[in-house]
Amino acid sequence: MRPMNTLDISRTRNIGIIAHIDAGKTTTTERILFYCGRIHRVGEVHDGNAQMDWMAQERERGITIVAAATTASWNDHRINIIDTPGHVDFTAEVERSLRVLDGGVVVFDAVNGVEPQSETVWRQADRYSVPRIAFINKMDRRGADFDATIGSIRDRLGANPVPIQVPIGFEADFEGVVDLVTMQAIRWPADGLVAPERGPIPADLEASALDERERMIEALAEFDDDIATKYLDGEDLSTAELIDALRRMTVAAQGVPVLMGSALRNKGIEPLLNAITDYLPSPLDVPPVTGINPKTGAEEQRRPAEDDPFTAIAFKIVADPHAGKLAYFRVYSGSIEPGATVLNTAAGKRERLSRVLRMHADKREEVTESIRHGDILAAVGVRATNTGDTLTDPKYPLQLESITFPEPVVTIAIEPKSRGDQDKIIDALRRLGEEDPTFRISGNEETGQTLIAGMGELHLEVIVDRLLREYRVGANVGRPQVSYRERPRTEATGRGRFVRQTGGRGQYGDVTVELEPLPLGTGVQIERRIVGGAIPVQFIPAAERGAARRLTSGPQGMEVTDVRITLVDGSYHDVDSSELAFEIAGAMAVEDALNRARTDVMEPVMGVQVVVPEDYVGDTLAGLAAKRGTIHGADMRGGSHIIAAEVPLATMFGYANELRSATQGRGTFSMEFSHYAVTQRAGAADGLLTPVS
């Protein structure tokens, strides 16, 4: 096999392993690395020794928390792999990974089918137009149902699943698959990491395999005219023709090839690797990226080609205790040598890529060859680069679309235990904030407390654990609190006039704004409609900054959202006006408008899915109703009832223990942020920030 740095780009695959929590992503990734020869001993999630779950917090909890990158080789192809988390609290890791990947392997549990986070990651992949193949895992478990899982992919995800295998045996008797492309039976021995046995299809499966192959070809014929013509003419289709058609269908995102296996039992991994190299796109198959030239404001494209200018995006920042700040980046065009200088177009600063690394989870290999389009690597020593920044050739700057992340919904107060911990805790929080774009740090002016916000209880629990363990900071931590928002009730106009005379040169700023509530989930928009030079052009940005700053704390002390602020009028003084005066006036104008409009308190509402045995359905429904939950439906799957509901986050703290107690440990649930809604609970925002040491 050739060294990886000599492989042509067409043999590179940049893929992510994505799924709902406990579907088997990390177990699948471990087997992929073993069969590729990247590791020589398979680690297990339940034993806490999986290679890709390298953080202490991941190994203790048995879940993936951060996306881990690695590289492996299969059939003379380089496969850059990112193993992503499945827990909803860490969905930002999936978001930024999908932003830079060319293809994805979506893992489904054969018993549970499409689960809530399966839908979330599927929507994220849709947003970035990522071609996918599906791997239905845990086919050896009791209640595994391949057909039902295919149906849920079609019905709940609106996808076009195209099975390219049928199972040999079910549940405990699952021993292999029939490959519908080659029409061979593939069987795995009962135990051991050994190669599968290929042979003729069992007689009792031959008829059903032919029927399924016919359905696969019909699905391809709907997309591919050449296949359709040969199919209608009754001609035989070769294996190469079917592989080529499946690849074109997958790259065009018109269908999803579906495979199956049991990663824990080492079944189905080699066909999955073949599907990754056969069907998922290379960097050359990906459309050119589009960005804005910061010098001209014109839209420009960068092709995945050697002769286009170097363009990359930083998608992940890690504060490595040994190497310092690491910036993971994906190269979209051009090439560059390690040690070269690039331009960070977001920060407007130059960065030197002093050392470039190829990562294997927390291990690293120094890169000495050229950095080329299609590479996913990490740079050491970058200072100004943050998640979503574009790195380009300084002569040819381009700003690519950045990465957007959901807002945090849970807040806790944190304070140092001693004066000596004060500086350490601020530095540690700053570093963690650089790593995690969904982690927010703020201060409460009334209490003087430092507040940290995240996507859920587990997210903040991990942050605090890292503070105490990695950064060795002594801290008192408050109980989790909900991050409420405010939203204006009506339109309003506000004026802010800041005038100060101190004997010498004074301060003068005068701003009028119009405030308009926006639909739920819209966010904040700040616009300008100044006519006639009422406010000089040089002072308008300062007034906008002041307006935005005032929205961080509304009349009831919470961040204001779903609002449009428009600067419409004002006045100035030839001598006394300044940026500071207009910034203060802008804030005063927004405060005046908010007081006139009055605000509603908004609370985060979570989409909740609860899985319980039939005996406990009544108690579970009553418990959700008591939490102000809205039940949207119940379904049966694998002998259990699946209840879908929307419940205010404020009532869900501690629900895991409640459900465990009510169902004798047999109930499980998952939840993800759905939307903000006006709270119906009086005094909901009272006492939000009371710390508990």
Q: Would you say 547 and 590 are in contact if contact means Cβ atoms under 8 Å apart? A: yes
Q: What angle do CA 264, 270, 274 make, to 5 degrees?
A: 140
Across 319-345, average pLDDT? 85
Across 646-664, average pLDDT? 84
Provide the strand spans (E) within 234-393: 256-260, 289-292, 299-302, 311-320, 324-333, 335-336, 341-344, 349-352, 355-360, 363-366, 371-372, 376-380, 390-392
Q: Which of 375, 373, 376 is nearest to 307 (CA)?
A: 373
Query: What span, in angstroms and rounded, lies between the C-alpha atoms of 13 and 331?
Result: 13
Query: What span, in angstroms and rounded, lies between the C-alpha atoms of 207 and 91?
Result: 43
600-649 pLDDT, tens digit each: 999 988 888 888 888 888 889 999 999 999 999 888 766 678 888 999 98
Token pair for 586: 């802008």
> Can you give the pTM of this predicted structure?
0.73
Q: What is the pLDDT of residue 687?
A: 34
Average pLDDT, the chain: 85
452-475 pLDDT, tens digit each: 888 777 788 888 888 888 888 878
Q: Which of 229, 275, 236, 348 is nearest to 74 (CA)?
A: 275
Classify residue 400 as exposed, middle or buried by CB count within 10 Å of its CB (0-12, 13-18, 19+).
buried
Q: What angle do CA 537, 524, 649 make, to 5 degrees?
A: 160
Q: Which of 2-16, 182-196, 510-524 has the lowest mean pLDDT?
A: 2-16
Whether the predicted pLDDT of 176 surpasses 90: yes
Whether the predicted pLDDT of 256 surpasses 90: yes
Whether the predicted pLDDT of 448 surpasses 70: no
Q: Which amino acid is at 13?
A: R
Report which of residues 684 and 93 the model is more confident about: 93
User: Sign of the CA dihedral 531, 532, 535, 537?
Assistant: positive
Q: How confident is the model at residue 46 (pLDDT cuts 50, 70, 90)?
A: very low
Whether the predicted pLDDT of 165 surpasses 60: yes
Whether the predicted pLDDT of 441 surpasses 70: yes
Q: What is the pLDDT of residue 123?
A: 85
Q: How confident is the model at residue 272 (pLDDT cuts 50, 70, 90)?
A: very high
Residues 6+ apart with CB under 8 A from 657: none
Q: What is the pLDDT of residue 685?
A: 41
Bridge partners (DSSP) of residue 488 are 599
Q: Which of 127-141, 479-493, 550-564, 655-669 has the lowest mean pLDDT?
A: 655-669
Q: How confident is the model at residue 48 (pLDDT cuts 50, 70, 90)?
A: very low
Across 168-177, average pLDDT? 92
Q: How confident is the model at residue 239 (pLDDT cuts 50, 70, 90)?
A: very high
Q: What is the pLDDT of residue 66?
A: 60
Whether the predicted pLDDT of 535 surpasses 50: yes
Q: What is the pLDDT of residue 313?
A: 94
Token pair for 452: 């940290």
Q: How confident is the model at residue 288 (pLDDT cuts 50, 70, 90)?
A: very high
Provide the strand spans (E) within 42-188: 68-74, 77-83, 103-109, 132-137, 161-163, 165-168, 176-179, 184-187
97-111 pLDDT, tens digit each: 888 899 999 999 999
CA distances 218 to 162, 221, 232, 248, Å, are 10, 5, 10, 15
Q: What angle do CA 399, 404, 410 make, to 5 degrees?
A: 150
Instruction: Estimate to the nearest angstrom the gap between the alpha carbon of 104 and the chain centroid.
Output: 13
Going edge to edge, which strands form the sheet with 103-109?
68-74, 77-83, 12-19, 103-109, 132-137, 256-260, 161-163
Percent of the chain whose pLDDT exceeds 70: 89
| Rg of the chain, C-alpha, whole Å | 28
